Amino acid sequence: MNKKEYLDLISEIARHDALYYDECNPEITDFAYDELVKKAKEIEQIHPEWKPSDSPLEKIGESPSPGFKTVKHRYPMLSLANTYSEEELDDFTKRMQKLLEREHVDFFAELKMDGVAISVRYEKGKFVQALTRGNGKEGDDVTINISQLANLPLQLKEPKTVELRGEVYLPIEIFQELNKEKEENGQEVWANPRNAAAGSIKLLDKSEVKRRKLHIVFYDIVEIEDEEIKRQSSISSILTRIGLPTFDQQDTARCKNPKEVLEFAEKIEKKRPFYPFQIDGIVIKLDTLEERGFLGTTGKTPRWAVAYKFAPEQAITTINDITVQVGRTGILTPVAELEPTLLAGSTISRATLHNQDEIDRKDIRIHDTVWIEKGGDVIPKVAGVDFTKRDSHSKAWKMPSFCPSCQSPVVRLESEVAFRCLNSYLCPAQSLRRITFFVAKGAMDIDHLGEKIVEKLLGAKIISSISDIYKITSSDLEKLEGFKEKSIHNLLDSIERSKNVPLARFIFALGIKYVGAGGSEILANHFKNIENIKKATKEELLELEGIGPKMAESIVEFFSKSRHVQEIEELLSLGVEPKAPEEIKSGHPFFQKIFVLTGTLEKYPRAEAAALIKQRGGKVASSVSKETDYLLAGSEAGSKLKKAESLGIKVLSEEEFDSML
């Protein structure tokens, strides 16, 4: 490689740094990035004189962000070197033995969260500051945003001054909900939970940060008042004692030799699919802190620690076709129709391609051989194309000019990455999605009215809008194939019962842009009825904790459209009467208790159980932690039940839950 090729490589690394840290939108995997860095370092060993003074290989993290004050770290925030193979991990442990000149070396291993590193400081027990890693020497002051995190205590159990290192992350379930919302609103989706967390902590609207329900976990103490820490393995108990979220004991290990480190890595890799958050490996550190000081650091990484990263599980398949799905808001989403292939325990035959820009950037074509993986180990996605196998049969793909459902012209609005059909109320696909959304669990929860039945009702012209659901008669259903006396009774009975859903679920069912389940709860609890929400001004909405400018504007815009107002009035005239939220009673057993729900509940849809808990002053979390008070477990409960039992958390049956209500 000549000098120009080397400098081009350095520029490419700097570009990927900016995409990862500053834009939270990486184009390549961590492994591919590390391969570029490895290649550059090998060249620098041969030609040290080529190395530029501002080499990205010597930098840590991101550039300062506009809108945030830059603050110097009291203690530098370094980044870890990555390893990807058992051989590299073995090299690290043996290097520690050699540098410390003894065979017996204690290691401490823990999860490597795939989130955003953060420095947090408490003074006299009170939360006072949070900084991003930045360049390792100084970072952005994100104190206000971090104060909104779902599980961060603002006051410790002890009045200590302490500085900590932790990781901000987004639980997988919440990541999926937010991505679905972004896709429906014509916005570009996040590739994985890490990108979502990184983008969220840099928002200038703290109410939006709170809405995204970020979490934090702490793993290190760099300063603590009146206490001497000698081993990494003792930090977890200190963090728990002072009231901070940290790793479960079963997700850490004190290892006496390289063999035990590898055994721990294998155990965690098997558990990886069952965590409610994303991890991408484990971190191995020397357990004795005094020895760390002896070994010191090299460049931007400590000598005494390393990250062992798991490879993403991938599969190779071919794209047979690219089809288009029309969402309830008119967004056209391209979908890869794949040759079915097994990936991470399930057969994958379809994968979203998100939008035209994504297809163009990756140069994805019909009949291409592609690698697929689960984005954030969750959502099937096309990771890349094997260009060596591309042949003359491959076909480039472009978004159609007309909606495949109603043949209306397709437009691309300036503010969106997505293409959209604007024929909202006459497009069959949008009507199908909108009505299916309205009747779904978590919304009106009308049993026996799934997508296929809605499609039949639309096709027979029995319904054309959501209010038409409440006009369906027995004679209408008798005309449809497959409907007998019992199925007709079940559906009509379910429609009748839905007339009295909680107000929050009725608001959610309307499908107002940017208003999810949480926003619907806020509106219901404050305004008490739909008439008050209809009359609310943007200024009134912005006064509510958890309602940001975009959501407020969307709510006002929704109720300014006569079609929406007429549809709501029609629903009310047909007997739909949403229940106003009950006043929270401080004496109730649920008051200020944290619940997690798991499994299939027989009596209550999960959303209804959550609403009942909240109405009585309780809280509902997505994952089990030491702060959880109760786990409400239905049939087929999985990993959450095991974790609750291991932590000694009270597990409620539906009967026990009923009696406590």
Q: Catalytic residue positions?
A: 112
Amino acid 156 reads L
- Residue 128 host element (H or E): strand 126-132
CA distance readout (Å), 123 to 72, 163, 248: 17, 9, 26
Q: What angle do CA 62, 63, 64 make, to 5 degrees?
A: 120
Q: Give me the residues paired with residue 314 across strands.
A: 373
DSSP secondary-structure letter at 329? T
Quote the CA–CA distance of 434 and 429 in Å, as a whole number.
Answer: 9
Quote the CA–CA distance of 489 and 318 in Å, as a whole number.
Answer: 46
Quote the CA–CA distance of 379 and 382 in Å, as a whole number.
Answer: 10
Residue with tokens 């069952």: 274
Q: For the beta carbon of residue 204, count every other beta carbon within 10 angstroms.
A: 12
| SS3 label, residue 505 | helix
Q: For the beta carbon of residue 534, count every other beta carbon within 10 angstroms.
A: 17
Quote the CA–CA distance of 248 and 250 in Å, as a whole number.
Answer: 5
Q: For the beta carbon of residue 102, count every other beta carbon within 10 angstroms.
A: 9
> What is the side-by-side strand order in the sheet with 279-286?
82-83, 305-309, 279-286, 107-113, 252-255
Quote the CA–CA distance of 557 and 564 in Å, as a whole number.
Answer: 10
Quote the CA–CA distance of 339 and 357 in Å, as a whole number.
Answer: 23
| SS3 label, residue 123 | strand
Amino acid 533 reads I
